[in-house]
Amino acid sequence: MDKTRCTRSSKVLLLSLALVFTGCYKKETKLEESTPQVTQDQGKPEPKPNTPAAKAPVESAPAATASTVDVNLYLEISNGMKGFIPPPAPDKQPTAFQTRLNQLISEIQDGRYVKSKRYYLAKENNQGKPVLDSVSYTTLKNTISSGIKADVRGTPLPDMLEAALAKSLQRNAVSIIISDFIHGPDPRNPGQFISLDSDIRSSLKAAEQKNQVVAVLGATSPFYGTYHPAVKKPAVSRVLQGEEIPYYIWIIGNQQEVQVVMNKILRNLPAQQAYFGFQYKTVPYSAVLKAAAFKPMGLVYCTSRTAQACTSVNLRPEPKEPVQFTIGLDLSQLPASMKDAGYLKQHLKLTTTGAKASLGTVIAANEETRAVPELSQFTHFVKVNVPALTASIGALTLALPQVSPAWVGNWSTENDNNPAAAPKKTYQFSKIIQGVQALYRDQNQNVLSVTMKFNKENN
């Protein structure tokens, strides 16, 4: 074959192949440009397997907030509960108890935040043991609307709680328990009054072992009928005509799921709220140093010039010019009562390392702060006063400890025999709550804690 012709033919073949591959590449490129690609981090090249970046541990994403929950609802139907659910009559309005419970069970039955539900009527059998009767929504609704007709003894409170919790744990369901929480010990064991707090703790230990939390809501309702006090002297029972008697709703379960029940199912919460075992490990916070509404005093500035959140400051208080600055907090995750500015002012604690400092004002965000971009992310603002440093580096730590709110003591009594004379009180309610508190005494000392580091400014 002619060598020149062979060479010419080879060039033609190579040119043709180049055109073919170029055309394919261009076609694929056009397809990629017209179809957006969803990636975890666009703009950052994927590291090769052997590079250090590829071997670095990837921080796991935070657990998604629960959106729907599995619910077990327990309603105590002892004789002592009958007065909250008087027989219906055309000229009688439903009691506050009936109104709240009808709204609650309707939300559980037909609302979008419950994926499955079961209803139980709690009572005691002839052997003095707790019985949880599984009933339909219709039966529960009729009980709330038409009253409790059977003669039913009340189950000792710790026994009822333990039985309900065991039932819920079989399905990892949230427990909603409704009762007057008047302890009626077994007549054969009156010593249960003495050990009420430890018995409550024992009845709920499975919840603590499963890292569950307890929320307690207190409300009152007019009571019509025979009232059965825990203290039987001078009267074993009394007939009431609309006096306000406390009842309680306890929610026990995973913290996120309990908050779904509180915020999305119960919604209109009573003012009396108590939370046990709740903890928020990550709370967004930052020193607020540039906003006109919270202008700092003295020499203080953010250690980092580029950080989005300022969690370390440089400062230098002087005898005639102490440092004062504000820390912004996002407490949107917390239950409503814990976010109350008065509650925070009363219970927030400031501990220091290397400084003398004190808390100033605590205010909640308002329309003005929400309108300022650099402040809009915060729900609360805490002022900190630093008159002196005792070290060149240190820390200021804000903490919200686990506490029992004041209303618990106000609603407790050692003698509930005459509720007309001492209304809105429950026998040894403080002791009941002490039993709940004891569950978490060694687990979580604080609901939340944030630390602002500091360096002494020497220039």
Q: Which residue spans within 93-188 are E strands per DSSP?
A: 114-124, 130-135, 174-179
How far apart, in whole angstroms, are the C-alpha atoms of residue 180 and residue 247? Answer: 4
Going by C-beta distance under 8 Å and a sequence separation of 6 or more, which residues neighbour residue 270?
217, 218, 219
Angle at 431 between CA 187 and CA 99, to 5 degrees: 85
Query: Looking at the predicted structure, is the pLDDT value of residue 57 above 80?
Result: no
Task: Read off the pLDDT of residues 89-122 as tens digits, 9 standing for 90 and up.
Answer: 888 899 999 999 999 999 999 999 999 999 999 9
What sign does the dihedral 158-249-117-208 (CA atoms) show?
negative
Query: Looking at the predicted structure, is the pLDDT value of residue 312 above 50?
Result: yes
Looking at residue 183, its pLDDT comes to: 85
Q: Please give the C-alpha separations between residue 113 and each of 172, 451, 456, in angstroms, as whole numbers.
A: 16, 36, 51
Q: What is the mean pLDDT of residues 348-362?
A: 97
Residues 137, 82, 182, 248, Cα dihedral to 10°: 40
Query: Looking at the predicted structure, is the pLDDT value of residue 8 above 50?
Result: no
Looking at residue 425, its pLDDT comes to: 96
Amino acid at 411: W
Looking at residue 191, its pLDDT comes to: 62
Looking at residue 27, its pLDDT comes to: 33
Amino acid at 177: I
How far apart, in whole angstroms, are the C-alpha atoms of residue 300 and residue 317? Answer: 8
Residue from 393, 298, 372, 297 nearest 328 by CA: 372
How many Cα atoms sit within 13 Å of 113 on the Cβ side? 21
Cβ atoms within 10 Å, residue 155: 25
Average predicted confidence (pLDDT) for the chain: 86
Band (12; pLDDT cuts 50, 70, 90): very low
Looking at residue 445, its pLDDT comes to: 84
Query: Looking at the predicted structure, is the pLDDT value of residue 31 above 70?
Result: no
* 3 state DSSP class of 172: coil
Query: Looking at the predicted structure, is the pLDDT value of residue 11 above 80?
Result: no
C-beta separation of 63 from 136 below 8 A:
no
Q: What is the mean pLDDT of residues 152-176?
A: 93
Q: Which residue spans within 48-207 are E strands per DSSP?
A: 69-76, 114-124, 130-135, 174-179
Looking at residue 140, its pLDDT comes to: 97
Q: Residue 381 carries which DSSP code?
A: E
Task: Read off the pLDDT of residues 198-212 as tens digits, 9 standing for 90 and up.
Answer: 999 999 999 999 999
Looking at residue 187, its pLDDT comes to: 59
Query: Looking at the predicted structure, is the pLDDT value of residue 29 above 70?
Result: no
Task: Read off the pLDDT of residues 219-234 as tens digits, 9 standing for 90 and up.
Answer: 999 999 999 999 989 9
How far apart, in whole angstroms, are the C-alpha atoms of residue 90 and residue 76? Answer: 26
Q: What is the mean pLDDT of residues 338-367?
A: 96
Band (42; pLDDT cuts 50, 70, 90): very low
How far apart, in whole angstroms, are the C-alpha atoms of residue 445 and residue 198? Answer: 20
Does 443 or 232 have the greater pLDDT score? 232
Residue from 222, 180, 171, 216 nearest 75 by CA: 180
Band (149; pLDDT cuts 50, 70, 90): confident
- Select the highest-mean-pLDDT range: 45-59, 123-137, 322-336: 322-336
Query: Looking at the predicted structure, is the pLDDT value of residue 32 above 70?
Result: no
Q: What is the mean pLDDT of residues 45-72?
A: 51
Q: What is the mean pLDDT of residues 333-342?
A: 93
Query: Looking at the predicted structure, is the pLDDT value of residue 58 above 90?
Result: no
Residue from 293, 308, 281 nearest 368 by CA: 293
Looking at residue 133, its pLDDT comes to: 96
Task: Read off the pLDDT of residues 68-84 as tens digits, 9 standing for 90 and up.
Answer: 999 999 999 999 999 99
pTM, entire model: 0.81
Query: Going by DSSP bridges, is the β-strand pair 285-288/323-329 parallel, antiparallel, or unpaired?
Result: antiparallel
C-beta separation of 302 from 313 below 8 A:
yes
Q: What is the mean pLDDT of residues 11-22?
A: 40
Residue from 447, 172, 409, 68 nearest 282 by CA: 447
Query: Going by DSSP bridges, is the β-strand pair 323-329/349-353 parallel, antiparallel, or unpaired?
Result: unpaired
Amino acid at 63: A
Band (150; pLDDT cuts 50, 70, 90): confident
Tokens of 13: 């073949």
C-beta separation of 174 from 168 below 8 A:
yes
Looking at residue 334, its pLDDT comes to: 95
Query: Looking at the predicted structure, is the pLDDT value of residue 41 above 50?
Result: no
C-beta separation of 424 from 244 below 8 A:
yes
- Select the highest-mean-pLDDT range: 2-16, 185-199, 406-420: 406-420
Q: What is the mean pLDDT of residues 181-189?
A: 72
Query: Looking at the predicted structure, is the pLDDT value of residue 28 above 60?
Result: no
Band (188; pLDDT cuts 50, 70, 90): low
Looking at residue 459, its pLDDT comes to: 73
Residue with tokens 């907090």: 329
